[in-house]
């Protein structure tokens, strides 16, 4: 069994997948689209990756505001989640992703990645951070599927 982590953005989806022991998260790719409302190919690519990696569960970053409220981006993420569950038949767990993009950017700065190249990696790294946070919480709590 593997778990997939997704960082859903307006024109990209960062993808990460766990190892089979559910200990670590690895970045897989960034799915890009030209328009925010064009998701058919995005869903199709996610379905391909689910089959390739034998994924049985998905963790989707939920972009909450710093005061824990949910804005328009969170609503779009909820809609994406509903369609993803219908298409794949898999459970999609929402995971608070506050500050994951900031943490991803900081990690790239520390790694010496130039500013121009950071945008090429930030969504994939954010997906890794979302999934790793979920895996760590799951391991520490002993729960099958912790809630947001």
Instruction: Sketch the domain layout of the chain as residue ranges.
Output: 2-67+89-141
Give CA–CA dist 102/70, Å, rounded: 18
- 109 or 44, greater pLDDT: 44
Give Cα 108 to chain centroid, integer Å. 18
Q: Which of 148, 133, 139 shows the shortest CA–CA distance to 100?
A: 133
Report whether pLDDT(148) > 80.
no
- Name the band, by pLDDT with cuts 50, 70 and 90, for residue 96: confident
CATH assignment, 2-67+89-141: 3.30.420.140
Residue 50: the pLDDT is 98
- 75 or 117, greater pLDDT: 75
What's the whole-model pTM score? 0.86
Give 51-87 pLDDT, tens digit per residue.
999 999 999 999 876 676 777 888 999 999 999 999 9
């Amino acid at each position: 069994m593997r778990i997939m982590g997704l960082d859903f953005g307006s024109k990209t989806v960062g993808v990460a997948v766990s190892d089979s022991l559910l200990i670590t998260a690895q970045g897989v790719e960034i799915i890009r689209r030209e328009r925010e409302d064009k998701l058919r190919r995005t869903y199709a690519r996610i379905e391909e990756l689910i089959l390739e990696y034998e994924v049985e569960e998905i963790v989707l970053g939920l972009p909450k505001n710093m005061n824990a409220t949910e804005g328009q981006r969170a609503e779009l993420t909820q809609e994406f989640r509903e369609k993803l569950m219908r298409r794949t038949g898999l459970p999609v767990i929402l995971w608070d992703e506050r500050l994951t993009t900031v943490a991803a950017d900081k990690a790239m700065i520390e790694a010496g990645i130039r500013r121009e190249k950071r945008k090429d990696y930030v969504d994939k790294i954010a997906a890794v951070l979302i999934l790793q946070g979920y895996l760590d919480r799951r391991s520490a709590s002993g729960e099958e599927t912790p809630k947001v």
